[in-house]
Amino acid sequence: MARPTSSRPARRHGAAAASAVLAVVGLAPAGLTDPAPATAAPRTAPETPAPAPKSAAPAPETAAPDPDLVRAVSRDLGLSTAEARTRLANEAEAAATAGALRTALGDSFAGARVSGRTAERLTVATTEAGRTARITRAGATARVVARDLGDLDRVQQALDRAAARSAPQGVPVWYIDIARNDVVVEAHSTSAAHALLERAGVGRNAVTVRHTTAEPRPFADLRGGDTYYMNGRGRCSVGFSVTRGGQSGFVTAGHCGTPGTTTNGYDRQPQGTFQGSAFPGADHAWVATNSHWTPRPLVNGYGHGDVRVAGATEALVGSSVCRSGSATGRRCGTIQQRDTSVTYPQGTVFGVARTTVCAESGDSGGSFISGSQAQGTTSGGTGDCTSGGTTFFYPLIPALQAYGLTLVTSGTR
């Protein structure tokens, strides 16, 4: 039996290394050697949750977090073991509180985010001062802002439509910044940013332009994070185990293959075939696997124990998140922004999340998970795991929705 495997919704409201190249985690040559596959506390903090997840995934677990996950978060976020454990508990509680407040506040909800060393502060924004008491009663810090998520999202979508017609030159990233209550456009020059704004019909006062030298690229190269090979020409990483009807498979990055591309597993044995793929615009795909591969609700911990997948509740901006991939194993960081658009040489991808996690070629398609909750699959970024970098992941829920897939979780298998 082959190695078991593990399994973005439409847009939601929601240290790069010097000389890095923005890239979709580019396909790693197939001949490269891969890492061997490895077999409730206080809270208070953020200010921007992406829209409530659209899946019926289980709520975040509040039980003690996996010890290996605690160690990984501790290592990569510079926390003590106790601080890492507290942070994970705080993040889970904050996500639940923010979800309830989003429903209670309705259209006045303007985002949420966690902050603080152990994510001890939950900040929830609203456009109506009269709603602050409700936020405070829930134990969060209230913030009154001028622009609602609908306004910010309209600006973001206008930029996305312009980029979909023709990928912008010199404008690698733009996103909704809940903390600033603004839309930020990162560009190589002011003129490049203004050119995109003009094409999108967006006023210059509707966004903040920031200078960047980043040039993102995809990180391309059935347990989440395991290696697989495409037609013998390169390698990527498994995202999460999924099913559709009686068919098993996994989600991964769209830039790793097109429908009909065949795959071999980490052991080079026949594995499956790409059934659907989208890139650019989106960056998701799914591979149907043969009967020799059994989907598991696991993510490869690369020597630190597998992580069980309990659901797909979306983590808030500011939360810790860990990535597993065939090139650099398990790496952790925090979610900086959601609702981000990034332009690679091949075109623009919309609706990704930007993180402080590092990645390299071959990590593409691999799992992003926060606690026990699946978040998405590695798309691309800048830098590397020696000097540090920025990595973007494509949210999981839209990929599941696009192909009618069901995430394999510890509650179902």
Catalytic residues: 255, 283, 364
| Cβ-proximal residues to 244 (8 Å cutoff; 6+ apart), any chain | 286, 288, 403, 404, 405, 406
The token pair at 271 is 């594995």
Distance CA 48, CA 113 (A): 4
Number of residues assigned to the chain: 413
Say if strands 329-344 and 173-177 run parallel, antiparallel, or are unpaired.
Answer: antiparallel
- Residue 411, number of CB atoms within 10 A of its CB: 13
For 101, the enclosing helix (H) or strand (E) is: helix 81-105
Cα–Cα distance, 3 to 296 (Å, whole number): 10
Q: Which two tokens stand for residue 37?
A: 């596959």
State the amino acid at position 347 in one-letter form.
G
Q: Which two tokens stand for residue 103?
A: 């429903």
CA distance 272 to 49: 36
Q: From CA 134, how far away is CA 140, in angstroms rounded?
A: 9
User: Are 379 and 364 in contact, with CB atoms under 8 Å apart?
Assistant: yes
> Token pair for residue 104?
């209670």
Contact between 182 and 204 under an 8 Å Cβ cutoff? The reply is no
Among 99, 132, 112, 219, CA closest to 176: 112
